[in-house]
Amino acid sequence: MASQLVFLGAPGSGKGTQASRLVKEKGYKHISTGDLLRAEIAKGSALGKKVEGILKEGRLVDDGVVLELLKANCSIESHSYIFDGFPRNLDQAKALDAQVLGSHQAKAIYFEISTDIVVERIINRRVAKKSGEIYNLLTRPPKTPGICDISGEALIHRDDDKEETVRKRMDIFLAEIKPMLDYYKNKNCLFKLDASESSQAVFEQLEELINL
């Protein structure tokens, strides 16, 4: 039976990096609402135009809009998913259960990390759009500056990865995370890992949690 994972954690806590490894090594599908929204913006769709300014400023997009986009992009019966960036608040957590997961149990995995580490990580984060690779100028630089090792494409510094926006996104995150943790704890499906460790060490923690 397909197993479902819900990744909870601050922007920059390493959710995306770990998700892409689980995709390669364990056959999960990664569904990131941030990526779906950025794809709409890149396409220039009506939805993309509506949300572009919101993403740039680091605010949250309307719950209903994101939920519809999520539903349109996953088929829970046949695949194991990693939900990354959704839920962002308690209402979204409840909607994910009621409208997407249904009778499928999911493990909620919380990537615990301090704000200071997150800010340093994000302002040094560079991403490759096509390959999905994520680099860090300090801890995982590309072999050639500014170029993706895998695809050769130019790396991007996301607009919302600038320091002022990162701090705003962290404030939003910290205000919303507590009720979500309580929600998943009460359902007995909350698991925590120490996300300040190296990528390899976090992956090992993750493997253990998945196999529980």
Sites of contact with ligand AMP (CB under 6 A): 11, 32-34, 37, 54-55, 58-61, 66, 85-86, 88, 92, 160, 169
Examine the residue annotation and report whether 21 is marked as an active-site residue of this protein: no
C-alpha to C-alpha distances, 170 to 59, 62, 88, 188, 199, nearest whole angstrom? 11, 18, 12, 26, 21
Minimum separation from the CB atom of position 12 to ligand AMP (A) = 8
Q: Of all residues in this chain, which one has the CB nearest to ligand AMP in the complex?
A: 34
Task: Give Cα 140 to chain centroid, integer Å.
Answer: 19
Parallel/antiparallel/unpaired status of strands 4-9 and 81-84 = parallel
What is 92-154 written as a DSSP string?
Answer: HHHHIIIIIITT--EEEEEEE--HHHHHHHHHTEEE-TTT--EEETTTB--SSTTB-TTT-PB
Minimum separation from the CB atom of position 169 to ligand AMP (A) = 5
Q: Which of 21, 121, 125, 126 is catalytic?
A: 125
Q: Which of 15, 21, 38, 121 is catalytic?
A: 15
Residue whose tokens read 């990390």: 113
Q: Which amino acid is at 55?
A: L
Examine the residue annotation and report whether 169 is marked as an active-site residue of this protein: yes
- Which tokens is 143 given? 């072999």
- Which tokens is 174 given? 């910290």
Nearest to 69 by CA among 89, 99, 98: 99
Nearer to ligand AMP, 55 or 113 (CB): 55
Nearer to ligand AMP, 133 or 160 (CB): 160
Minimum separation from the CB atom of position 63 to ligand AMP (A) = 6
Minimum separation from the CB atom of position 167 to ligand AMP (A) = 12
Maximum C-alpha span of the chain? 47
Minimum separation from the CB atom of position 107 to ligand AMP (A) = 18
Nearer to ligand AMP, 159 or 208 (CB): 159
Nearer to ligand AMP, 21 or 169 (CB): 169
Nearer to ligand AMP, 59 or 157 (CB): 59
Examine the residue annotation and report whether 158 is marked as an active-site residue of this protein: yes
Q: Which of 38, 88, 121, 126 is catalytic?
A: 88
Q: Which of 21, 38, 121, 169 is catalytic?
A: 169
Question: Whats the size of the chain, residue-wise?
Answer: 212
* Helix, strand, coil share (%) of the chain residues, nearest 5: 50, 15, 35
Catalytic residue positions? 15, 88, 125, 158, 169
